[in-house]
Structure 1
Amino acid sequence: MAKGPKRPTRDEYQLEELGERLVEAQQEESELLFTVWNWDVQPQGKIVHMDSRTKTVHVAYQGETVKIPFLDIMKVESAY
């Protein structure tokens, strides 16, 4: 069975920095633009919940909540 493209790996420091940025954005209720590995769409919205059990970030996006796997988030930036 053929496998698709492999997700780029990042070191512990990069993941920790991303996590801190997400926590800060959630506390400030900032609108973010997410670059997600292997997604055609760039979700934009506010973080409403971060689930440590499933390692997903729940983002309110266009009236819906989108669950983005933490390890698939390649980049976050301010939406403004």
Structure 2
Amino acid sequence: MAAKTKTPTKKKEPKHLDRDEFDLEEIAYTLTESMKENKVCAYTIYKHDELLEGTVVKMDANTKLIHIKDRYMGIHKIHFLDILKVSDVD
């Protein structure tokens, strides 16, 4: 019987970045506040080159998707773990 040789596997890039609990809580708090106040914010998103500007219209706890409406009324569904930073728009 021939021995099986193991083929080298490529390391997969992580789907989401690992961050500590404090960062995640801070982002969750900021998202909740911006949704309550209907405030336009700029969102830095993992693996996206440009900032997304808009307002949070819905936060789905089951799917962990954040629904952000941009200035053109388009809805972007972003996974919570993909949001790296939330900042105010000047």
TM superposition score normalised by structure 1 = 0.89
**Match of residue 81 from structure 2:** 71
Distance in 2 (CA, whole Å) between partners of 1:22 and 1:31 is: 11
Distance in 2 (CA, whole Å) between partners of 1:12 and 1:4 is: 21
Structure 1 consecutive aligned stretches of length 4 or more whose deviation exceeds 4 Å = none
C-alpha deviation, 1:4, in angstroms: 3.0
Specify every segment of 5 or more residues in structure 2 that has no aligned partner in the other structure, as ranges: 1-8
**1:30 corresponds to which of 30, 39, 58:** 39
C-alpha deviation, 1:6, in angstroms: 6.0
- Secondary structure at 2:87 match in 1: strand
TM superposition score normalised by structure 2 = 0.80
Percent identity between matched residues is: 36
**Match of residue 5 from structure 2:** none
Count of residues paired in the alignment: 80
CA contact (8 A) 2:41 2:87 kept: yes
Tell me how large the CA RMSD over aligned residues is.
1.6
| Larger gyration radius, structure 1 or structure 2 | 2
The superposition leaves residues 20-72 of structure 1 with CA deviations (integer Å, 9 ceiling, x where unpaired) of 11101100111010000011232110000000011011000122100010000
